[in-house]
Amino acid sequence: MIKSCIVSTTEIDDGEAAVREITGQFASFPLQKNSIGLIMAHPEFINTGTYEKVAKAFSFPIIGMTTISQFAGEAVGTYMLSVTVLTSDDCNFSCGLSEKIPSGDSCGVNDVSRAAYVATRGRLEGDPKLALLYGPFYDNPYLYHCIKAITDASDGAVPLFGAAANDDHNTSLTNTGPRVLLNGEAYDDKFAIVLVSGAIEPKFYIASATEESMVMPRVGVITKAENCRLLEINNAGTVDFLRSAGFPIDENNASGNSGLLSSIFVLHINDGSYGVNVSRIPHSIVDGGIICGGDLVEGAVLSIAFNTREVVLETAKAATDRINAGHCGGTAILHSCLGRRYGLLSEPQAEMELLRKTMGGRFNCTASYANGELCPTGNNGGRADNRFHNQTLIACIF
């Protein structure tokens, strides 16, 4: 089994003080044979050099991402750095870093992703039971290409959980942009991965839009899509279809599309006897198509919901109720979409506070915001149904 310990600091500017605080919290925790640390940090910790000092204070690998807000242990905050230490005598860990992910080249993304998985798998003792992945991007290239390549490389045997990094500006490839963190280094063009083998049986939970929040339930079928671009609904052009459904879309004025672009597209996907719901954020309109924050599935039934404070908190509470009903304790890793945080309006920490109230003290729990969420929806025909999500709260419990 895996034992865990969560340590954190809000000391951004004084790296030595942050190290003393972190190591002081960690000093009495007994390490077992194999250990790894999952780090979540506000981007400012990179700029000041504090992240590098903290990461190098540990004797085992440290891997994670930037996030603008989190809950760790008993602390909730924005300018925080936390490390979740995982240690075990009967589980093994293997860390890997991909080569640069080529932009706009799905074949190249597949090759790089597969190579990173194969190399990391080659250093792991035993068969992998869980993969944790952190990427610095969710678009261009789309992280779902990485997910598919790794799922195929593992023959669907390994559930994949993780997140896309984020920053205050929600931009990529800038000096303060989202970063993947590994052993004191920060990357804006590679993903990092952890494989875990041994005595671990992870359980996964997903929460997004509710049936009640769907203002247009099952409004049509996606009849044409190209990767992340929604082109036709019910054989009609997407923009024309949505205009007729009541959205006053203006392709030449992005601000005039606020109603559409603040909604959630829910894909009801039926793959034979296996059905699943996956949420997508529509974030721009290009040449009559709606660009979404992840891959689209032709044949999926489409519902449209709105992202509100009530929906965010209701779904978070429902998820934690299910988790508490199914587990007496353990380690809990959660990621929530940054869009859910925006839906909280003047109470940006309300979801993290709810998670602290409902899970703190019961689990060694960490939760952080993401620019996209990676979580299996279940097992489909003997393969882990690893998927990329938007506007979703995901949890991994072990």
State pLDDT tens for residues 92-117: 999 999 999 988 778 899 999 999 99
Model-level pTM? 0.95
Distance CA 84, CA 96 (A): 18
pLDDT of residue 169: 67
Encode 156-199 in three state secondary structure: CCCCEEEEECCCCCCCCCCCCCCCEEECCEEECCCCEEEEEEEC
pLDDT tens track for 112-132: 999 999 999 999 999 999 999
Q: Tell me the pLDDT of the chain averaged across its residues.
A: 93
**Strands, DSSP E only, in 32-159?**
34-41, 62-66, 70-72, 75-77, 81-88, 91-97, 128-135
Q: What is the rounded end-to-end Cα distance, in angstroms, of the chain?
A: 8
Compute the average pLDDT of residues 296-321.
95
How many residues does this entry show for the chain?
A: 398
Local confidence band at 52 (pLDDT 50, 70, 90 cut-offs): very high
* Domain regions of the chain by residue span: 3-207+310-397, 211-306
- Whether residue 250 is predicted with pLDDT greater than 80 in this model: the reply is no
Determine what percent of the chain is predicted with pLDDT higher than 70.
Answer: 95
pLDDT tens track for 351-384: 999 999 999 889 999 999 999 999 999 988 889 9
The residues with which 370 forms a beta bridge, in sequence order, are 337
Distance CA 372, CA 385 (A): 16
pLDDT of residue 247: 81
Residue 66 structure tokens? 């930037």
Local confidence band at 200 (pLDDT 50, 70, 90 cut-offs): very high
